[in-house]
Amino acid sequence: MEQSVRRALREIALAALFCTLFCLVAMSLFAVFVRAYAPADGIVLAVNHMLKGAGAFAFCMAFIRRERAFFKGLAAGALAAVVTMLLFAAIGGGFRLSALFAAELAGCALLGGLGALAGAKLHKE
């Protein structure tokens, strides 16, 4: 039992870590575009949410396997959303919690769960 909990925590941590790294790199590259072309704030926000959701789906699909994949994906997606929000707040120099964070948190968790389900079906062992 303890070994399965340890394995589940490892899968969740790996998925959240790689999702966070993906978001940091992708948003850094997108910042170059923002600096050059100055798009509207709505576009920047939409791309931010899209990148976090895509990362949660893809990395949960890649790292989460075995039983209870959906719940592990929910946890990994939510953890990745919280960690990226905290890192972006630390990098940006301020912590602003908006009403859209709840939607982002729920969306990343749901996409993480769906990605983990897809990965569990693809990685039949």
The tens digit of pLDDT for each residue in 33-91 reads 888 888 887 888 888 889 999 999 999 999 998 889 999 999 999 999 999 989 988 88
Q: What is the model's pLDDT at position 93?
A: 67
Whether pLDDT at 99 is above 90: no
**Mean pLDDT, rounded, for 89-98:** 76
Q: What is the mean pLDDT of the chain?
A: 89
Output the six-digit token pair for 60: 């949960």
Residue 115 vs residues 16, 43, 74, 107: alpha-carbon distances, Å: 12, 25, 9, 12
Q: What is the model's pLDDT at position 125?
A: 59
- pTM of the predicted model as reported, rounded to 2 decimal places: 0.88
What are the boundaries of each domain within the chain?
A: 2-122
